Structure 1
Amino acid sequence: MMKLFRYLRPYRLLIVFVFILVFLQSMSDLYLPTLMADIVNDGIVNGDIPYIWKIGGFMLIFALGGAICSIFASYLSSKVAGGFGKNLRSRVFSHVQHFSLQEFDKLGTASLITRTTNDITQIQQVLTMMLRMMISAPMMCIGGIIMAVSKDAKLSLVIVVVIPVLVGAVAIIATKGLPLFKAMQVKLDKLNRVLRENLTGIRVVRSFNRIEHEQKRFDEANFDLTQTAIKVNKIMAAMMPIMMLVMNFATIAIVYFGGIRISNGHMQVGDLMAFIQYAMQIMFSLVMVSIIFVMVPRAAASAARINEVLAMEPQITDPVQTETIKHERGFLEFRDVTFSYPGAEHPAISGISFHAEPGETTAIIGGTGSGKSTLLSLIPRFYDVEKGSVLVDGVDVRQMSQETLRAKIGFVPQKAVLFTGTIMDNIRYGKEDATDEEVRKAAEIAQAAEFIATMKDGYESKIAQGGNNVSGGQKQRLSIARALVRNPEIYVFDDSFSALDFKTDSKLRTALKDVTEQSTVLIVAQRVSTVMNADRIIVLEEGKIAGIGNHHELMDTCDVYREIVSSQLSEEESA
């Protein structure tokens, strides 16, 4: 957890003020019992009313000053902890933005969400307490011991006996609680994952009548987390009764032995009252420490999880020096490319070699799992190749900055993704400074203008989370418009026409020809009708190229392509 405290540097001055205020509050609390002892010993015993009023006034002033210091210390500590949480969340989010898909696959989306929210909140809460108690608890303990010894050194032996008992109890309970707190965070990840899957897949859940199954999955994850929480809370709940028991027995011992010393004339009544107060302050300071020990193990587990994210270095990074462009705009080449997913037994694609030039349309077709989407993912460096190289404009993509590379590409993913906001915002996501006219033109080419016009607010119509208020085909067309608005060098369509009807598909491909004359176009598709007019068709089978050529060439030379065509088209249509 100490590693994360470096994010407190902007708040160093505020932290100093908090410590000063807590110090003053603690000094006030420590001095009050002495003033009370003076009132009893010198005022009440002697019947000196003016003295009682005088010392009572001092007590009121010190109590009021301590209260003011406490209020301001609470305010500043909350401000520091809140700022720390904000900065840490921003740092984690910024760091995660640089992760490749391999890091996302390793950690998991649900876990990253929990770490960015719940885990940081745990640390923030503990920090608020620590800022108050880090100075207060040691001062009250040490100061209380000093003041108690000053009142009666021999009676202080009671405290000497009690403190090790309390410290031992706190240590044992904290040791047993730490592993359970770590387990709780892992189980919270699992619960979050189940909940997220259920909410995002609610349509599938309902369509297959799997509501009871999902309820059972959630109940199991929830029960598992609850049982661990109950177990750890049982352990932590034992702390306070133990503390109170020890404190009460300590009070009995102090009163008993203190009474004997008073009767022998070795101690005054006021000093005994002050001694009891100091003993309580010492005990309560240890209670404050125990509360920290309740919170710190869970925060430590959370800190370890956050540090794991921050320590994880993205496998895909920008080179120190980037190479200059060697070829014309939009030139793409694969040179003997092989790629395997982490932990996979066999490569997803192997020995892939081809080139694509501006003004050409290169289509990729093949069966499910043949490596089509994997191949496209290598172009914008979502993953890095294992062997061989991918070149854009004659430069290996690993020798270009990711920002420069991706600025050249208009990528339309297999699963259309929209963001909350307006239609205009979603299309402009591809080009932040796009004019309204550019947005409308992109929508027209993507065949989206017609359905946008039927919506109540047109381009200002709101898109719900995940685009749930538009159909699958509408989402695809908006996703295509988002790529078109940036006018990139290379268009990458990863099965982006699957939800379109044949008429819309045909109109869209016709419109694309006019705007992509100066760009390279790569299309992954399942439909032969979508790819048969491409300049080049690459047929993939089990991650390898089974054939390259145009439609007619492949009909003569490639058995795999002929099988795909015959399964979709009649002889007249395929001719």
Structure 2
Amino acid sequence: MNSRIKKFISYYRPYKGLFAADMACAFILSAITLVLPLGVRYITSELLDGAHSDSLSQIYEVGAGMLALVILHIACEVFVDYKGHMMGAMMEGDMRSELFEHLQKLSFRFYDEQKTGQLMTRTTNDILSLAELYHHGPEDLLISILKFTGAFIILIAIDAKLTLIVFLFLPVMAAYAFYYNRKMNAALRISRDRIGDINEQVEDSLAGIRVVKSFTNEHVEIRKFARANARFLRSRSDGYKSEAIFSGGMIGFTQLITVAVIVFGGAAILHSSMQLPDLLTFFLCIGILIEPIQRMVNFARLYQEGMTGFDRFMEILEVEPDICDAPGAAELGHAEGKVEFRQVSFKYKDDHREVLTDLSLTIEAGEYVAIVGPSGIGKTTLCSLIPRFYEVSGGTILLDGKDIRGLTLRSLRRNIGIVQQDIYLFAGTVMDNIRYGNVEATREEVIEAAKKAHAHDFIMGLPDGYDTDIGQRGIKLSGGQKQRLSIARVFLKNPPVIIFDEATSSLDNDSEQAVQSSLERLSDNRTTLVIAHRLSTVRNAQRIIVLTDDGIAEQGTHEELLARGGTYAHLYNMQLKL
């Protein structure tokens, strides 16, 4: 069995009891639908034709039995409609949760190549139709098979020749349905891709709305959205056209069948080869025969929609995390903080140029090291390799003498704190965002971390203090305030290795000096790596490492490097002139 089919079926496993009940009700629904016309035939042919003294009471008895069946039919229909839909919704929820958990495992390399809007579409829109397929798919198949088979047997028993005429239409209907189902599937796949483009455009435009407005480029974004929207509408048009032709053709075939039954059935009555009660029952059974065909038409639509979404869902789920725990990976306790790069090389996927080549560097535990150099030289990349956000192309990185690839990711990253250049705060309160560094921290510990990051005073000036909602991505705060909250988050984590990627770049002079002193206090007995463009912020570093295209060009203290008159001195003097 195809692995994707196995995966598709596996989502039924937690709900097999509910699924069995749903199928049992579907079976009862089919049986009742077939029995009711037989009750009509019994009344019209046996009780009304050649009526006798107790015919009326027998009619009431048969009617009471049919009424009981109708009540049972309603109860089963309600169960199937409610519980069946809930089963589908829960399975859909399971899939969405699994996909989201999988997305959390994928590395930066994956997200470098993906667009957020497309991923959002696969996590939401693509899975929506699967709830209907999971519920109605097996149910429609079972009901269709039972009703079709039962109706066929009854029709053959009533009039074999008329039944054969009806069945001559079915191969043509099947070929027609198959052809237009394929066209619908192709159009639907394109439509799913196009709605992903729209989500991508909306996410990109709204996330950058301040840039849009600052350049008065609203009309540019509107045109970009209009193009994406028009492409989506064209794809929907193709899909609706195929669906309309498909649906219209199937309805036309069913009407032709009805006409054929009227014509040939009427002729059979005139030739006395069929009785009127039999023709009435035949008509009722033709309705039952056509209803499974309509169900199969609906199933074909659900299948195309659901499997198109499932394929896009599986495309992401089948992406293997390129950075994960090695077999038998060791759990790292509290690290001392010694970091070693041994002939480390790195290049991004599909990029032939190496960002780092045979770089060797040792940072002692507790050392305060600054990494400087021209933009794009690989400073951030170098530090991103330590927590294994990216995997080295060659060489080895050691933490406390242990290859980081032999450590569990969770324990490795638990020992490393990072304040990135691109600050990200979550929608919620100040308290929530600082506590993200340690979700089990008490309120007092959060406040203490904020004080160390010199954030406490401005937080207390907010309308609700630590319980103030800061908006999406902290939009209600200034750049410096956001930076200090992100620093407080790392203070709360309190790791032995700290990486600051331009951590003070958004601060004013007063805030920068305050945070700088906090960082220096925090660096005691902790390994601290500071990436800096503004060289004035790293003058107190124990060692400054200068990166160039050739690797480490020079290293030493601020005074030593100035006295040497090399790359660092040149960069420093250039900044003094600005």
Q: Same fold (TM over 0.5)?
A: yes
Cross-structure match for 2:256: 249
The one-letter code sitting in structure 2 at the alignment partner of 1:371 is G
Residue of structure 2 in register with 1:386 after alignment: 393
Contact 1:332 1:393 in 2 (8 A): yes
1:32 is aligned to 36
1:185 pairs with 2:189: no
2:294 aligned to which of 276, 287, 293: 287
Tell me which residue corresponds to 2:132: 125
Moved more, 129-138 or 454-463: 129-138
DSSP-derived class of the 2:302 partner: helix
Moved more, 179-188 or 326-335: 326-335
Contact 1:380–1:405, Cα closer than 8 Å, also in 2: yes
Q: Name which of 288, 302, 305 aligns with 2:312.
A: 305
What residue identity is the alignment partner of 2:168?
Answer: V
* Larger deviation, residues 258-267 vs 466-475: 258-267
Give the conservation status (yes or no) of the 8 Å contact 1:26–1:66: no
Mapped pair 1:23 → 2:27:
yes
Instruction: Give me the CA root mean square deviation.
Output: 1.8
1:321 equivalent in structure 2:
328
Q: CA deviation at 1:123?
A: 1.2
Alpha-carbon contact 2:501-2:530 (below 8 Å) kept: yes
* 1:14 aligned onto 2:21: no
Q: Hey, what's the Cα distance between the residues in 2 that align with 1:153 and 1:131? A: 30
Counterpart AA for 2:214: S
AA partner of residue 215 (structure 2): F
Instruction: Label 1:65 to 1:565 Cα distance change in 2 as closer, same or farther (>3 A).
Output: same
Q: Does the 8 A contact of 2:332 with 2:408 survive in 1?
A: no
TM-fit CA distance, 1:515? 2.7
Q: Secondary structure at the match of 2:477?
A: coil
Shift of 1:327: 11
Structure 1 distance, partners of 2:334, 2:252, is 82
Q: How many Å separate the matches in 1 of 2:550 and 2:399?
A: 22
Distance, in Å, in 2 between the alignment partners of 1:301 and 1:40 is 49
- Distance in 1 (alpha carbons) for counterparts of 2:438 and 2:329: 24
CA shift, 1:323, in A, is 4.9
Q: Check conservation: 1:428, 1:482, Cα contact below 8 A.
A: yes
Matched length: 571
Q: Aligned residues: percent identity?
A: 33
**2:513 is the alignment partner of 1:495:** no
Aligned to 1:76: 83
Q: Distance in 1 between matches of 2:468 and 2:536?
A: 33
Query: CA separation of 1:568/1:317 partners in 2, compared to 1, >3 Å: closer, same or farther?
Result: same
1:473-524 deviations in whole A, cap 9, x for unaligned? Answer: 1111100100011111001111111100122111211122223211011111
Q: How does 1:346-495 map to 2 (within 5 A)?
A: 346-495=353-502
Deviations 1:211-241 (A, max 9, x none): 1111111111111011101111111111222
Q: Which runs of 5+ in 2 are unaligned?
A: none
> Quick one: distance in 2 between partners of 1:516 and 1:565?
24
Cα deviations across residues 234-289 of structure 1 (Å, max 9, x unaligned)? 11111222122111121111111112222222222111111112112212211111
1:326/1:394 contact within 8 Å kept: no
Separation (CA, whole Å) in 2 of partners of 1:376 and 1:148: 77
Describe the shift of the 1:416–1:310 C-alpha distance in structure 2 as closer, same or farther (beyond 3 A): same
1:104 Cα deviation (Å)? 2.2
Q: Secondary structure at the match of 1:455?
A: coil
Are the structure 2 counterparts of residues 353 and 202 from structure 1 closer, same or farther at C-alpha, using a change threshold of 3 Å? same
**2:8 equivalent in structure 1:** 4
Q: Do 2:459 and 2:466's aligned partners in 1 also have CA atoms closer than 8 Å?
A: yes
* Separation in 1, partners of 2:329, 2:160: 75
Alignment match of 2:48 (pick from 36, 44, 58)? 44
Alignment partner of 1:173 is 2:180: yes
* 1:415-442 residue CA offsets vs partner (Å, 9 max, x unmatched): 1111122211111111122222221121
Pairing 1:552–2:527 present: no
Equivalent of residue 266 in structure 1, options 263, 266, 273: 273
In terms of mean alpha carbon deviation, does 560-569 or 142-151 score higher? Answer: 560-569
Cα offsets for 1:291-328 (capped at 9, x unmatched): 11122122212111111222111111112223587997
Could you tell me which amino acid in structure 2 is paired with residue 254 of structure 1? V
Q: In structure 2, do the counterparts of structure 1 residues 328 and 475 end up closer, same or farther at CA, with 3 Å as the change threshold? A: closer
Which is worse superposed, 252-261 or 480-489?
252-261
The runs of 5 or more residues in structure 1 that have no matched partner are none
What is the CA distance between 1:105 and its match in structure 2? 2.6
Change (3 A) 1:476 1:126: same
Q: What is the Cα deviation at residue 97 of structure 1?
A: 1.2
Q: 1:558 to 1:235 in 2, by over 3 A?
A: farther
Residues in 1 aligned to 2:71 and 2:248: alpha-carbon distance in whole angstroms: 31
How far does residue 345 in structure 1 lie from its aligned partner after superposition?
2.3
**TM-score scaled by length of structure 1:** 0.96
Distance 1:254 1:100, change over 3 A: same
Residues 342-401 of structure 1 show CA distances to partners (whole Å, capped at 9, x for unaligned) of: 011201222322222233211111222111111111011100101111111111111110
Amino acid paired to 1:192: N
Where 1:364 maps in the other structure, the secondary structure is strand
Q: What is the Cα deviation at residue 106 of structure 1?
A: 3.4
Determine which of 25, 48, 58 is the counterpart of 2:65.
58
* Aligned residues of 1:428 and 1:485 also touching (Cα < 8 A): yes
Partner of 1:151: 158
**How many angstroms does 1:570 deviate by?**
5.4
User: Is 1:518 the equivalent of 2:512?
Assistant: no
Q: Is the contact made by 1:339 and 1:386 (CA closer than 8 Å) also made in structure 2? A: yes
Give the drift of 1:49. 3.5
Equivalent-residue separation in structure 1 for 2:307 and 2:443 (angstroms) = 50
Structure 2: which amino acid aligns with 1:551? Answer: H
Tell me the distance in 2 between the aligned counterparts of 1:560 and 1:511.
Answer: 29
d(CA) in 1 for partners of 2:407 and 2:170? Answer: 64
- Match of residue 223 from structure 1: 230
Tell me the residue number matched to 2:102. Answer: 95
The amino acid of 1:77's aligned partner reads G
Q: Secondary structure at the match of 1:342?
A: coil
Matched, 1:206 2:213: yes
Letter in 2 for 1:550: T
Tell me the secondary structure at the aligned position of residue 463 of structure 1. Answer: coil
1:5 Cα offset (Å): 2.2
| 2:480–2:511 contact (8 Å) kept in structure 1 | no
1:340 and 2:347 equivalent?
yes
